[in-house]
Amino acid sequence: MTGTKIRIPVSGMTCAACQSNVQKALARQPGVTDASVNLMMKNAAVTFDPSVVTPDHLVETIRATGYGADLSSPDQTAFDEQIARDRAQQAEFTELRRKAIVSGIIGVLAMLLSMPLMAAGEHGHAVVADPFMRWAMDSMTPALRSVAPWLYAIPAPALSYGLLFVTLGVMVWAGRHFYTRAWAAFRHHSADMNTLVAVGTGAAFLYSVVATVAPGFFLSRGLAPDVYYEAVIIIIALILTGNMFEARAKGQTSAALRALVDLQPKTARVVRDGQEVDVPVEEVVHGETVVVRPGERVPVDGEVVSGQSAVDESMLTGESIPVKKGVGDRAIGGTINKTGSFRYTATTLGSDSVLAQIMKLMRDAQGSRAPIQRLADRVSGIFVPVVISIAIATFVAWFIAADAAPGVRAFAAAVAVLIIACPCAMGLAVPTAVMVSTGKGAELGVLIKGGEALQRAGDIRTVVLDKTGTVTEGKPTVTDLVAAAGSTHSDEELLRLVASLETASEHPLADAIVRHAKERGLALTPPEGFDAVTGRGAVGVVDGTALAVGNAALMEDYSIDVAPVRDAAERLAGKGKTPMYVAADGRLAAVIAVADPIRNTSREAIERMRGMGLDVVMLTGDNERTAQAIAKEAGIERVVAGVLPDGKVAEIKRLQAEGR
């Protein structure tokens, strides 16, 4: 779809009808080709022709419907937008909570003030009409008489007028938005939840005012001058309480996006005038040199210019094995530097960074509309008019059927229909499901593109799993140590020597050996010499012992025969493990195996997927033998091995072409 697309934050929407009103108002504007309003995310996504209509005009269109709207700053990043949205949600929750609590307290006090009117009713003054309120007051009247007898000495007209002004105050302070938005909707020939609340409470209030100011109007017609003041206040308090809980739920569903915001460091260490200085991450300039030390998060995206390290990129890839970084490699903001220090040039900042793009993808996904939402939209579009029609029919039915005071009973029943029919859940159900699902998926490392993808997931027939970090733990662990015949070192001593040597290495397999030795409580010593042999292993000296740890090619370089343990190495490799030969002082000492064990939950999860009728395929870059060993242990029957990262997408498309 051609045109410019913007997102406009919209405040004040509380139900599906509100959403529908804003959406229709935007869609009617010349130059607007598409308008989609999301109640949960509280924004409007509008595609428009900028030569016909401007963003400011779109904002004014939204405001004219009775809702708040403001354009986001063009310099605002996804992080800034999320922070602003969190603040707005918290402010909304705080405001609703204050109004709900105060209105509730005033409502209870209004009930107490209304009790003396029960006794005054027999003298022709206004009385409490609501049957439930009357029952509650009857139950509490004896206690109130004993605690506050002076209350019954106040003239009934004074109590009625006092309740009138108290109720008016609550309606203006706590419930004003119901009436202003209902009026805006009326001017646009539409209706929403605010219409139901405004008509219901407004009718009850006006009826009560007439009963207070001119009780003779009712008495002359054989009707009691009933009032509904306390009911109006309680209704407003209850609806505000419901809105408050909705606001809190919306804030909780944004937890995944807030977690992404927390991934970005607040400061960065940059080189300026030859000095390292800490600056807010927003002040990093394109082309500046950024310094990252072990254990720190990478602040912005860039390209490494000096140093080497291993970086945990699990927040991007789900792989817990750190990725080696050197000159020319890309550093991504939000990832964690594990070992060495390095410097890099900042190349991608703000909204163009990888983390910001992930946030944008998630935000768009949570704000997207599932196809089933269209059904909810159609229903909500006719819901309020239908409710008003039902309320009118209810009034007529009760007026005809009631034996005593038909007008009062019919009025109470019609107001009840208007109040209880607020369609909040209708507009929130689908967006909430999409938002919670995409948010939970992000917490578990799964990025879901939107509501349509979620709905289509019900048609999935084949699930393709990566091996490392998905089926397996993604964390190599020492599984075996097989000593060579004639070795003069014990297994524990060999492990201590090898782990001591590997403390100088940055390789993930070396880290597994060091971690295993520490878990066994072995005391490690720094190597007296160390040399990493690319593609082969490492050599060095520990406590006077010359060590070589690596593959068969490394052993061949040092003329060491691996035949005594070759069978053991091949057997371990057949189980999906990585064997490493160990030589001490020029003699073969052992073979150590490191493996990435399958997750404790993998077999159960795969069995459950197969029980759902899904075909499970494991796609990996590992060799066929290792892949088959892992697949067999996990219960996966189909394996595609030896696929490079660039080829995995093509393999997925091939499976899709097969109709999977």
**DSSP percent split of the chain into helix, strand, coil, nearest 5:** 55, 20, 25
Out of 222-231, 506-515, 577-586, give the one with best mean pLDDT. Answer: 577-586
Q: Tell me what pLDDT residue 116 has.
A: 76
Q: Is residue 644 scored above 70 in pLDDT?
A: no
Q: Is residue 431 scored above 70 in pLDDT?
A: no
Task: Label each residue of 132-193 as H, E or C.
Answer: HHHHHHHHHHHHHHHHCHHHHHCCHHHHHHHHHHHHHHHHHHCCHHHHHHHHHHHHCCCCCH
Q: What are phi and psi of 110, to 5 degrees?
A: -65, -35
User: What tens digit of pLDDT does each residue of 153-166 get?
Assistant: 788 888 889 999 99
Residues 7-23, mean pLDDT to the nearest whole number: 81
Q: Tell me what pLDDT residue 41 has.
A: 74
Least confident of 424-428, 429-433, 474-478: 424-428
Q: Is residue 388 scored above 70 in pLDDT?
A: yes
> Where do we find the tokens 């197969």?
610
Q: Tell me what pLDDT residue 39 has.
A: 76
For residue 430, give Cα distances in angstroms to 241, 250, 472, 597. 22, 13, 34, 39
Q: Tell me what pLDDT residue 445 has.
A: 65
Determine the straight-line distance between the first and last CA of the chain, rounded to whole angstroms: 29
**361/46: higher pLDDT:** 46
- Please give the full DSSP string across 608-626, using - where no structure is assigned: HHHHTT-EEEEE-SS-HHH
Topology (CATH) of 460-473+598-660: Rossmann fold (3.40.50)
Measured at the alpha carbon of residue 123, what is the angle toward residues 121 and 127, in degrees to the nearest 5? 15
C-alpha–C-alpha distance, residues 498 and 542, integer Å = 8
DSSP 8-state secondary structure symbol assigned to residue 403: S
User: What tens digit of pLDDT does each residue of 86-98 get?
Assistant: 787 788 889 999 9
Q: Tell me what pLDDT residue 122 has.
A: 45
> In CATH, what is the architecture of 265-348?
Distorted Sandwich (2.70)
Q: Tell me what pLDDT residue 125 has.
A: 46
Bridge partner residues of 346 (DSSP): 302
Q: Tell me what pLDDT residue 131 has.
A: 59
Confidence band of 573 (pLDDT split at 50, 70, 90): confident
Confidence band of 48 (pLDDT split at 50, 70, 90): very high
Q: Tell me what pLDDT residue 151 has.
A: 77
Please tell me the CATH superfamily of domain 477-595, with its number: Calcium-transporting ATPase, cytoplasmic domain N (3.40.1110.10)
Q: Is residue 121 scored above 60 in pLDDT?
A: no
Q: Is residue 124 scored above 60 in pLDDT?
A: no
Q: Is 412 left (phi over 0), alpha (psi -120 to 50) or beta?
A: alpha
Find the length of the chain. Answer: 660
Catalytic residues: 466
User: To 10 degrees, what angle do helices 131-147 and 78-120 make?
Assistant: 70
Average pLDDT, the chain: 82
CATH number for the domain running over 4-72 = 3.30.70.100
- Coil vs helix vs strand at 551: coil
Say if strands 309-312 and 462-466 run parallel, antiparallel, or are unpaired: unpaired
Q: Name all contacts of 80-88 with Cβ < 8 Å and 24+ positions apart.
A: 81/363, 82/254, 82/257, 82/258, 82/260, 82/261, 82/359, 82/363, 83/261, 85/9, 85/42, 85/254, 86/251, 86/254, 86/258, 88/9, 88/11, 88/42
Q: Does an H or E element contain 7, and which?
A: strand 4-11
Out of 99-113, 211-225, 399-413, give the one with best mean pLDDT. Answer: 99-113
Q: Is residue 134 scored above 70 in pLDDT?
A: no
Out of 47-56, 188-197, 223-232, 364-373, give the one with best mean pLDDT. Answer: 47-56
User: What tens digit of pLDDT does each residue of 194-240 get?
Assistant: 887 888 889 889 888 988 898 887 777 666 677 888 889 988 998 88
**369/475: higher pLDDT:** 475
User: What tens digit of pLDDT does each residue of 604-613 get?
Assistant: 999 999 999 9
Residues 513-529, mean pLDDT to the nearest whole number: 91
Q: Tell me what pLDDT residue 383 has.
A: 76
Least confident of 72-86, 126-140, 328-342, 502-516: 126-140
User: In 272-293, which positions are buried (b, 16+ CB within 10 angstroms) versus exposed (e)?
Assistant: eeeeeeebebeebeeebbbbbe
Confidence band of 123 (pLDDT split at 50, 70, 90): very low
User: What tens digit of pLDDT does each residue of 457-487 get?
Assistant: 888 889 999 887 789 887 788 999 999 988 8
DSSP 8-state secondary structure symbol assigned to residue 342: E
